[in-house]
Amino acid sequence: MQADYVIVGAGSAGCALAFRLAEAGRSVIVLEHGGSDAGPFIQMPGALSFPMNMPRYDWGFRSEPEPHLGGRRLATPRGKVVGGSSSINGMVYVRGHARDYDTWAEMGAQGWSYAEVLPYFKRMEHWHDGGHGGDAAWRGDSGPLHVTRGGRQNPLTRAFVEAGGQAGYPLTPDYNGPQQEGFGPYDMTVWRGRRWSAANAYLRPAQKLGARLVRGFARRVVMTGGRATGVEILRGGAIEVVEARREVILSASSINSPKLLMLSGIGPAAHLAQHGITPLVDRPGVGQNLQDHLEIYLQMAAKQPVSLYSYWNLWGKALVGAQWLFTRKGLGASNQFESAGFIRSRAGVDYPDIQFHFLPIAVRYDGQAAAEGHGFQAHVGPMRSASRGAISLASGDPEAAPRILFNYMSDPQDWEDFRTCIRLTREIFAQPAFAAFAGAEIQPGAALQSDAELDGFLREHVESAYHPCGTCRMGAPEDPMAVVDPEARVIGVDALRVVDSSIFPRITNGNLNAPSIMVGEKVADHILCRSLPAEDVQPWIHPEWQTAQR
């Protein structure tokens, strides 16, 4: 039970890291508490609402009562399965905006500017453009991660992009290329009709190269004289230690990685002492800087029976499931998030700060369809909230869930931004492209117009987009709140890294799976003392951003 590198967590970053290290001839053990990802609920893209709500695949975390949301406790799903959250997510593939990474570099994460991370996005991707256009020079064509696009056959899906253009926004053939801003088709991590998780893309190839997958519950990092030397795990009712000859790497999620650091004596010293843990390294930033994306879905009734509601019954689901099972085609082969929008909330914002996911059915995340029947919805929310929360220990018991407080909507700008999101979405649904389809507004409902009415709706209905990050922030070694340096090494500890979305200094634009995998790819090169050359590229910025909202 020893290897050169012991990676805790077979998730998005951990799988990528395991593959690159094994490919370079290093011995690797990946520790994973969750079980197998076999079975149709995970592998069938159209069934995405199931694994996210199944205790077998999800850690089942919930936030503390959120003070600005009337004390609501929000679901915080994280993948407890091979592939981690890439096995239960919505499969939407978004790199983020170039400015996100330039901001990381400005915040002390030297070497993480867009010019420096773009080569890693290209190395990890095998992009299939499906004839939709885009700039191949910005995309990868031979990586392990297949990125495809849905068929976009539903008329509502096409109407959303058309309406964005009619509202005066730009259209973009590839938001992961030079121009994120605008409306266009979504990319998804689906290949040949199957979810292309990090387990499918990276872990299975890593195992063929000799990486070992060990099932067990990680309790803490074993420290010997300021150095990480192994991981204590619970396996089959017994406590064992998996030894790392070179390094221990935490890739356990932005919830569990800071928890494991604190259980190992690395974190805010006073907080650790409260829970009977001897502080070994006082890092006050561990668990702080928690960020997420919030969203609401604005739902409309459809005047024509063109939505996916036709299949929202036992027979319809059986038909879709059977077609997928036997052919890997049909509605089950897509996540149905096939149209995207990235816009700016107001003049003076230089790159998009609002994201749309369009869905040609009115349905909740828990799979409950709107009572009105045929409908459609746009998930919308601000990308760069100033609100910050924290992960802390509820107990010194490794098996106890951590305390998760996002502190959502604690910044007054959040409320203004969300009201803007609702009003801009209503404007898009009022465009001629939707004239034949749009009926009454189901949610929030056209009667809610004033700021106070919209705020009341938001307090009750805003939901997490499930993008937690930032809790082991990367920064300059002298930064007292940084947890890891720009090579993802835990500051003040030898032979220990954190490699997952915990290390994001600031949340990126859009869904976090792609940036998390990129972090695994890039840190693998830091470990192997190599790097890809930076690419000097200039992303598209709206020429009139200072004076125009669109």
Read off the pLDDT band of 52 (50, 70, 90).
Answer: confident
Give the rounded percent of residues in the chain with a pLDDT score beyond 70: 99
Give me the mean pLDDT over the 188-201 stretch.
98
| Tokens read off for 405 | 């407080």
Question: Does residue 344 share a domain with residue 298?
Answer: yes
pLDDT tens digits, one per residue of 422-451? 999 999 999 999 999 999 999 999 999 999
The pLDDT assigned to 182 comes to 98
Angle at 492 between CA 487 and CA 496, to 5 degrees: 55
Give the C-alpha separation, 293 to 380, whole Å.
10
Please say if 467 is a catalytic residue.
yes
The answer to whether the beta carbons of residues 95 and 176 sit under 8 Å apart is yes
If asked whether residues 337 and 374 sit together in one domain, one would say yes
β-pair partners for 64? none
- What average pLDDT does this structure show over 223-244? 97
Strands (E) in 58-120, as ranges, are 61-62, 75-76
Question: 81 a known binding residue?
Answer: yes
* 236 belongs to a structural domain: yes
pLDDT of residue 367: 66
CATH code, 22: 3.50.50.60
Please tell me the predicted confidence (pLDDT) of residue 136.
86
Question: Does residue 437 fall inside a structural domain?
Answer: yes
pLDDT in tens, 261-295: 999 999 999 999 999 999 999 999 999 999 999 99
**Does residue 107 form part of some domain?**
no
Q: Are residues 159 and 302 in the same domain?
A: yes
- Do 300 and 276 lie in one domain? The reply is no
Q: Is residue 480 part of a domain?
A: yes
Q: Is 91 annotated as a binding residue?
A: yes
Tell me what the pLDDT averaged over the chain comes to.
96
Q: Are residues 336 and 453 in the same domain?
A: yes
How many domains are contained in the chain?
Answer: 2
Strand partners, 92: 188
* DSSP letter assigned to residue 78: -
**Parent domain of 510:** 2-39+198-285+471-527
Q: Is the pLDDT of residue 363 over 90?
A: no
What confidence category does residue 129 fall into, taking pLDDT thresholds of 50, 70 and 90? confident
**Best CA proximity match to 42, nearest among 104, 98, 94, 86:** 86
Residue percentage of the chain with pLDDT more than 90: 94
pLDDT of 134 strictly over 80: no
Confidence of residue 40 (pLDDT cuts 50, 70, 90): confident
User: Phi and psi dihedrals of 59, rounded to 5?
Assistant: -65, -25
Q: Is 90 annotated as a binding residue?
A: yes
pTM of the prediction?
Answer: 0.98
Q: Residue 125, Cα to own-chain centre: how many angstroms?
A: 17
315: which residues sit within 8 A by CB, 6+ positions away?
Answer: none
Same domain, 232 and 167: no
Q: What is the mean pLDDT of residues 330-344?
A: 97
Task: For residues 261 and 367, state if they share a domain.
Answer: no
- Over 90: is that where the pLDDT of 237 sits? yes
Residue 314: CB atoms within 10 Å: 7
Residues 239 and 164 in one domain: no
Pairing outcome for strands 238-250 and 496-498: parallel
**Phi then psi dihedrals of residue 496, to 5 deg:** -135, 125
- For 368-377, write each residue's pLDDT tens digit: 777 778 999 9
Q: In angstroms, what CA-CA distances link 269 with 155, 266, 284?
A: 57, 8, 7
Of 33, 379, 467, 542, the active-site residue reads 467
Backbone angles phi, psi at 155, to 5 degrees: -60, -30
Mean pLDDT on 127-132: 80
Residues 430, 515 share a domain: no
Phi/psi for 394 (5° steps) reads -90, -20
Please provide the DSSP assignment of 426-464 as one string.
Answer: HHHHTSGGGTTTEEEEEETTTT--SHHHHHHHHHHH-EE
Tell whether 267 and 303 lie within a shared domain. Answer: no
Is 397 a domain residue?
no
- Same domain? 260 vs 325: no
164 assigned to some structural domain: yes
Indicate the range of 312-326, 330-344, 364-378, 416-430 predicted with least confidence: 364-378
Question: Given its phi and psi angles, is residue 60 left (phi above 0), alpha (psi -120 to 50 degrees) or beta?
Answer: left
In a domain, 80, yes or no: no
**pLDDT confidence of residue 365:** 66
Task: Name the one residue in this structure whose structure tokens are 């739902």.
Answer: 299
Stretch 224-244: mean pLDDT: 97
Q: Is residue 547 part of a domain?
A: no
Q: What is the mean pLDDT of residues 397-405?
A: 98
Question: What is the CB-side half-sphere exposure of residue 215 using CA atoms within 13 A?
Answer: 9
End residue of a domain, out of 420, 438, 461: 461
CA-to-CA distance for 142 and 127, rounded, in angstroms? Answer: 8
Contact yes or no for 374/313 (Cβ under 8 A): no
Residues 174 and 242 in one domain: no
pLDDT value, residue 366:
67
Distance of CA 226 to the CA centre of its chain: 32
In 3D, which of 409, 48, 495, 513 has the Cα closest to residue 230? 495
Question: Tell me, what CATH number does 329's domain have?
Answer: 3.30.410.40
